[in-house]
Chains A and B, each alone.
Chain A
Amino acid sequence: MELYLYIALFSPLVGSMFAALYGAKPRTKIAGVVPSALLITSLIASTILLAHILSTGEIVHVEMMTWMATGNLYIPFGFIVDQVSVTMMMVVTLVSSVVHVYAIGYMDHDKGFNRFFSWLSAFVFSMLILVMSDNFAGLFIGWEGVGLCSWGLIGFWYHKESATWAANEAFIMNRIADLGMLIGIFLVYWNTGTLQYEGAFAAMQNLDTEILTWMGIFLFIGAMGKSAQFPLHTWLADAMEGPTPVSALIHAATMVTAGVYLVVRSNELYALIPDVGVFIASLGAFVAMFAASMALVNRDIKRVIAYSTLSQLGYMFVAAGLGAYWVALFHLMAHAFFKALLFLGAGNVMHAMDSELDPFKMGGLGKTMKASMVMMTLASVALAGIFPLAGFFSKDIIIEAAFVEHHFIIYTVLLLTAGLTAFYSFRIIALIFHGEERYKLFGFHPHEAYKFMLVAMSPLLILAVIAGSLKMTYFEMVTAVLPATEYHLHSVTTYWIMTIGTQIFVILAILYAYKKYANSSIKVPDGTSKMEKSFVYKLLINQYYIPYSYEQYLIRPYRELSTIFWKQIDMKIVDASVDGIAGIIYGTGEKTRAMQSGNLSTMLKWMVLGLVILLSLAVVFGLAARHFDEIKVILSGLGV
């Protein structure tokens, strides 16, 4: 099995390097095909591993080589494939294979084609490191690696100011979180003496709660960064500057879920500190609502989907926080499928509309792009959590879980959010595919994407539809390592009432969305309508003024302070004082050199003066010596 593990892990790396060879050369198909092929190999290998685990249930654990070893610290490159990581591997390899193939078509005309695939495969490799590593340090490698790749991919079109800005923003915000994570790792090391998961978690069992709490908090700060939880969420929406496949792979399916994975992975830690868990859950619930609200009004397809991702991550954190780790992981998986699908669909649309993102300028695309419409609609249905698609099984359990755990506020929030989700997803569906064909006004000539792109998307489609049915098998498998918490309501009736209630609520939301946006009266908003003037709309469209305030109250002061430090303090105080000392010495020379007037009698006067000084000193001292006793008396009188 080790062999398959290595194949799964390293074939993306090989692919990335292969594409890198063509980095500076004009684009060639091969630079895209080979990495995709290698990724599919990796997918197959992962599948074999999955099968192995499903059948035997035994964990594959290898230690490749030592990385760092000094003092008591020992960090190997160790990889573990257990029920949790294999799930992630499946998700990652599957989605990224799809995205790779898709991207061959999508990036067809981009001159950075080769570079793109190099980065993309590199990302997959880092992501696999992240999920497969058997210690926190290895996790951190992947953690930073995916950050790096996302930097490279968000800023892929580096000639665009907005893209590079978004890339740096994403990187730096993640860095802030990573600091927290680093501290968490230090805490783990100095308290448990190791960074290996097994050893560390074993040792945690008998540590006192305060330390554990700190560990939990700091590690979670790291998770907040990657999973773009409030207040570190702004980068995710801006990250949509990257090519759409990137958004699909990194900013929907895989990287952003790393935070959830971290919490799930360290469930044994969080199990010991339920208070932190509750905090995580509440934050998750808040983000779910918060993000959904911003998605309601946004006029950029990708941003809307991004916000929905954000809110779904909120759901996952709720689950993880409440200790329903397997649920969180399950939703992570399901979400990966339908959200990636959604993004790729959006990609098709953009392709068709020459990268136009405003749904109000589209409409009625359903006629020309049937396949895309079907896919996106199904994905949205899944996202909305309608029976029997994936979302229903993964999302509704979370809501139930909140109910069962008696966190009713969270429950309510999640319920409302489910409604909002349904609304905004179908808002864009309606705006894009139904109603008047507004794009004609703007002279677009939409066309369906290449066949093979659609084919490539199909696995996701299938999974988005059927993933729910895998729930029980999945439960069986994953609870081997995760706490098996069943969420069954006490009475069957309440269960049915709740479920059906939720369904109806959601469906109503969908219908409302259609009624509002699918009709022919929709115009391209010009800022005149009453709604757009309303405070709430302004608040939402400006994302609660959070990016603005960051710019205003963090970035600008930092820039100004730096300049002050340089121009004022470093130059005018620190350096000036050094030169000042030198200046004083030199100046003394300039002033006193006049003493050497060159006039003989002055010189003689100096000599005599010197003698006189010496003599007077002598006299004073002589007298002092002679009248030593009297002086002592006087001094003592003076109290010296």
Chain B
Amino acid sequence: MEIGLNHYLVLSTILFSIGLVGVMRRKNLLLLFFATEILLNSVNIAFAAISHYYGDLTGQMFAFFVIAIAASEVAVGLGLLIVWHKRHNNIDLDSMSTMKG
């Protein structure tokens, strides 16, 4: 059968939801970052598909920017993660709740 735009969109939505669930469920900071990557990349798929569908490049441009930003995010995120690990020897979300109320 013919794979149409909708399939891609559905796929991206599913991936996005997976990402959301991951964001909510993960207690490990690293895996949490993975989840956010999934979020962004799911969107990329959709962008690519749509721009192909419309036949203009804006979507792909957007996708590229998203990739770039995702990369820099990872850079910053991992930096923070490492510092945290140095100080506390863990990367557990529940350990970081000194501020509340």
Contacts and interface: CB of A to CB of B under 8 A. Distances in A.
Instruction: Determine whether A and B are in direct contact in the complex, meaning some CB atoms lie less than 8 angstroms apart.
Output: yes
Contact of A601 (B26, B98, B100): B26
B92 to A, nearest CB: 10
A599 B24 contact: no
Contacts of B100: 596-599
A604 B20 CA distance: 9
A600 B80 CA distance: 15
Interface string B25-50: 11100000000000000000000000
Given A597-B100, A601-B26, 16 more contacts: A596-B101, A597-B97, A598-B98, A599-B93, A599-B94, A599-B97, A600-B93, A600-B96, A600-B97, A601-B93, A604-B23, A604-B24, A605-B24, A608-B20, A608-B23, A608-B24
A597 B99 CA distance: 8
A572 to B, nearest CB: 33
B16 to A, nearest CB: 11
Interface string A586-614: 00000001001111110011001000000
Contacts of A604: 23-24
Cβ-closest 8 pairs across A and B: A598-B100, A598-B97, A600-B93, A599-B97, A601-B93, A593-B101, A605-B24, A598-B99
Contacts of B93: 599-601
B101 A598 contact: yes
A596 B98 CA distance: 12
B72 to A, nearest CB: 21
Chain A interface main SS type: helix
8 contacts: A596-B101, A597-B100, A598-B97, A599-B93, A599-B97, A601-B24, A601-B93, A608-B20
A599 B27 CA distance: 10
Contacts of B94: 599, 601
Interface in B44-97: 93-94, 96-97
Interface residues of A, number: 10
A608 to B, nearest CB: 6
B98 to A, nearest CB: 7
Most chain B CB within a 10 A radius of its CB, from A596, A597, A604, A605: A604
Nearest to A609: B24
Nearest to A611: B20
B40 to A, nearest CB: 15
Contacts of A597: 97, 100
Contacts of B25: 601
A601 to B, nearest CB: 5
Contacts of A608: 20, 23-24
A609 to B, nearest CB: 9
Nearest to A599: B97
B12 to A, nearest CB: 15
A605 B97 CA distance: 15
Contacts of A605: 24
Nearest to A607: B23
A601 B22 CA distance: 10
Contacts of B96: 600
A601 B98 CA distance: 14
B94 to A, nearest CB: 6
Contacts of A601: 24-27, 93-94
A604 B23 CA distance: 7
Contacts of B98: 598
A596 B23 CA distance: 18
A596 B100 CA distance: 6
A5 to B, nearest CB: 83
Contacts of B20: 608
A599 B24 CA distance: 12
A60 to B, nearest CB: 87
Contacts of A596: 100-101
Contacts of A599: 93-94, 97, 100
A274 B100 CA distance: 87
B77 to A, nearest CB: 13
A636 B84 CA distance: 62
A79 B96 CA distance: 92
A599 B29 CA distance: 12
A608 B101 CA distance: 20
A622 to B, nearest CB: 15
B48 to A, nearest CB: 24
A608 B25 CA distance: 11
A479 to B, nearest CB: 94
Nearest to A601: B93
A640 to B, nearest CB: 35
Contacts of B99: 598
A599 B20 CA distance: 17
A428 B93 CA distance: 105
Contacts of B23: 604, 608
A596 B97 CA distance: 10
Contacts of A600: 93, 96-97
A578 B98 CA distance: 36
A604 B24 CA distance: 6
A551 to B, nearest CB: 61
A596 B101 CA distance: 5
